[in-house]
Amino acid sequence: MKYPTSYVDRCLRLLRAAILALALLACALAPSASQAAPAGPILSIQVDGVLTAPSFDYIRRAIQQAESARATVLIINLRSEGGVLRDARVLAQEIAQAKVPVAVFVAPAGTDAGPTGAILLSAAHISAMAPGTTFGSPYPLAQIDASLTQQTADLLMDSLTQQIRQWNEAQGRSTAWVDQAVRSGAIFTNQQAVAASPPAITMVAADQAQLVAQLHGRTVALAGGAQATLATLGQPIQPIAPTTWEGLRMLLAQPTLAFALLIIGAILVSLEFATPGITVFAGSGAVLILVGLAGLLMLPLQLWALAVLVLALVALVAEFVTPFHGALAVVGIVLMVVAGLNLIDPAQAPGSGVSLWAVLGLAVALGAAVAAAVVLALRVRAKPAVTGQEALVGMVAEVRRPLDPQGMVYVDGALWSAICQDGSAAVGDHVKVVGFHHMQLIVQHLDNG
């Protein structure tokens, strides 16, 4: 059966129109490559001091919370003084792979984010710095073990260089600085970073509020090729506070504090040896030593420096059980200073050592405590032993046989013959021992003492 040509043409036109309508509908319904991020919360955390495993765990939890809340952006306010590079690289991978935009903000003015800051800024979807801040290190970001072959060292450097380049290229940032920073070391100010072409960081902001304002409408690339356009205008900032346990761990993992607790504990234990019987010194000192050690063990330590520190503590304790009168204490303090200044491995945690001024201050305090303890011990040894009747002078005795003026009193677990120098006393009265004559105590009424 044949259809008229006009009928066939009309059917073809209708078919083409239907196909075109379906195509337009599909385009309208398909998600665009760059879509506005949902109006989720703006979350923020503050990380201070040396970045250690507890700090990275806190940041990791914040990322997970931001993903669960479908946050518009997570802002990591970084006020770092160095950190553990190995852990920083692991965290940087997680930041780059986060399902929500993550901004790393180095602030306030004067903050030096150091080598860990360089790594975290590179991995972040938005890297921001306050005026007067820096990142980088005078030493190579790739701290290579000297025992490795040159070929292996080159491979490790190439791997880190490529990774940092990829992170920055994904966000359209400059990578011209990466090779120098990884292989020989370099420090960059916020002015140098933003003046590069293209800029090495996303933006400069005076504070967090200005940062949020500048983020509005900015598009960032997320993992897997997805993109998100930020809508931050008028949204409140919700801080994510560390838990009590996180805060305690981060505090104890600060090298200077952990070292100080250890040395103060040693001072208290030394005082216990000088004044035996006052167990509060020994108990408190032991607790501080254990807490300080717990904090130090969360850091990359140089084993030889840790061994020197143990020798220093042994020398200080030995000072009070041997007749060296300060010689061992001097040796212990010198060893303590050497150990304190070299305790943290600079290859694994550059910029994270114990403060020089803290070490010197603790050395002076320890020296003063040891000197005072030695002087006190020598004075005690120089005093003649007080025994027998001499030890009873000043004690309160109970009258067991009437003093008229002679009788019997009970003092220090024994009965003594006594004479009352100011009258008489009945059984049960309490009198004070003021002297002795031969084997007889001399007592008087308490109201006359």
pLDDT digits 0-9 by tens, 60-99: 999 999 999 999 999 999 998 788 888 999 999 999 999 9
CA–CA gap between residue 446 and residue 433 (Å, rounded) = 9
The answer on pLDDT for 257 being more than 90 is: yes
pTM for the structure as a whole: 0.73
Is pLDDT at 388 greater than 70 in this prediction?
Answer: no
Task: Tell whether the model's pLDDT for residue 445 goes beyond 80.
Answer: yes
Q: What proportion of the chain, given as a percentage, has pLDDT over 90?
A: 48
Q: For residue 29, what pLDDT band results from cuts at 50, 70 and 90?
A: very low
* pLDDT at residue 173, as a whole number: 94
Say which amino acid occupies 397. Answer: A
Evaluate if residue 4 carries a pLDDT over 60: no
pLDDT of residue 74: 97
**pLDDT single digits (tens) 104-113:** 999 999 999 9
Q: Please state the separation of Cα 447 from the chain's center in Å.
A: 59
- Given a cut of 60, whether residue 18 has pLDDT beyond it is no
Phi, psi of 305 (to 5 degrees): -70, -35
What is the C-alpha separation between 89 and 142, in angstroms, rounded? Answer: 11
Quote the pLDDT of residue 238: 96
pLDDT higher than threshold 50 for residue 27: no
More confident site: 359 or 350: 359
Calculate ∠ Cα 220-226-227, nearest 5°.
Answer: 30
- For residue 319, the model assigns a pLDDT of 74
For residue 169, the model assigns a pLDDT of 92
Spell out a b/e string for 177-188, using b for 16 or more CB atoms within 10 Å of the CB, else e.
Answer: bbeebbbebbeb
The residue ranges of DSSP E strands in 52-86, in sequence order, are 73-83
Task: Give 318's contacts (C-beta < 8 A, 6+ positions apart).
Answer: 324, 328
pLDDT of residue 15: 54
Q: Which residue, 269, 380, 353, 254, is CA-closest to 314?
A: 269
The mean per-residue pLDDT over the stretch 124-147 comes to: 85
- Residue 215: per-residue pLDDT: 94
In this predicted structure, the answer to whether residue 185 has a pLDDT above a threshold of 80 is yes
pLDDT of residue 141: 80
Interatomic CA distance for residues 38 and 66, integer angstroms: 13
| Banded pLDDT at 381 (limits 50, 70, 90) | low
Cis peptide upstream of residue 198 (ω within 30 degrees of 0): yes
Cα–Cα distance for residue pair 131/354, rounded to 1 Å: 27
At 107 the pLDDT is: 94
Tell the residue number behind the tokens 């359209």, with chain if given.
Answer: 172
* Cβ 333 vs Cβ 311: under 8 Å: no
On whether the CB atoms of residues 294 and 255 are closer than 8 A, the answer is no
Lowest mean pLDDT among 31-45, 258-272, 289-303, 390-404: 31-45
First to last CA, the chain: 141
Instruction: Decide if pLDDT at 318 tops 50.
Output: yes
Q: Tokens 């305790």 map to which residue?
A: 343
Distance CA 15, CA 25 (A): 15
Q: What pLDDT shows up at residue 317?
A: 76
Residue 34: the pLDDT is: 41
Q: What radius of gyration do the chain's Cα atoms show? A: 37
Instruction: Give the chain's length.
Output: 449
pLDDT at 28 over 60: no
DSSP category for residue 97: T
pLDDT at 150: 77
As a whole number, mean pLDDT of residues 132-145 equals 82
State phi, psi for 49 to the nearest 5 degrees: 75, -160
Residue 310 corresponds to which amino acid? Answer: V
Average pLDDT (166-188) is 90
User: 3-class DSSP state for residue 301?
Assistant: strand
Asked if 272 and 281 count as a contact pair (C-beta separation under 8 A), the reply is: yes
3-state secondary structure of 401: strand
Closest CA to 382 of 391, 390, 374, 393: 374
pLDDT at 37 over 50: no
Separation of alpha carbons 124 and 52, rounded Å: 18
Mean pLDDT value of segment 242-252: 95
> Which of 116-125, 308-317, 342-351 has maximum average pLDDT?
116-125
